[in-house]
Amino acid sequence: MSKDFVPEIGSQELKQLLDRGESVLLLDVREPEENQLVAIKPSVLIPLMELETKLEDVRKLTEGKQHLVAYCRVGGRSEMAVQYLEASGVLGVKNLRGGINAYAEEADTSLNPY
C-alpha cells in the first residue's frame, strides 16, 4: 500500500450495496483475459494502462452513480486507479480492499479467486 490514504470499501459493504440495488459503477482495471476468468457483475472493464486515454468515458459512466468502486485481482492496480482518478478530478471513487479475490472469499463464493 502507498503512503497516501486511498478510500476503500470492504467486500461485505460492496455486496450490501449491490444487493440493495444501489447505483454502483464497478470499474474493473484488470486485463481483458483476467476479466474473462471472473468478474463482479455488472462491471465495466477499463484496464489500468488504458485509464488515462479513457478518462472521459469514466466521467460519463459515473454520471448519476452514487458509488464508484475500482477493483483488480488483489487491490494494487485498483489503488493506483483510485489515485489517478482522484488526481484527475473524479471524486468519490473507492478501492475494493483485497480485490476480486477477497470479494470471492468474503462476499460471493460463487466467484472463483485466481
Q: Which of 40, 32, 44, 46 is nearest to 11 (CA)?
A: 40
Q: What CATH number labels 8-106?
A: 3.40.250.10
What is the rounded (10 degree) CA torsion for 79, 72, 22, 10?
-60
Give the CA angle between residues 49, 91, 37 to the nearest 5°: 40
pTM exceeds 0.85 for this model: yes
Give the CA angle between residues 102, 5, 38 to the nearest 5°: 25
pLDDT tens across 40-62, in order?
999 999 999 999 999 999 999 99
Mean pLDDT of 27-45: 98
Q: Which residue has the cell 494494487?
A: 76
pLDDT above 70: residue 105? yes
Mean pLDDT of 65-80: 98
pLDDT above 50: residue 2? no
pLDDT above 80: residue 109? yes
Beta strands in 29-106 (DSSP E): 43-45, 67-71, 93-96
Peptide bond into 42 cis (omega under 30): yes
pLDDT for res 3: 52
pLDDT for res 1: 43
**Hey, where are the domains in the chain?**
8-106
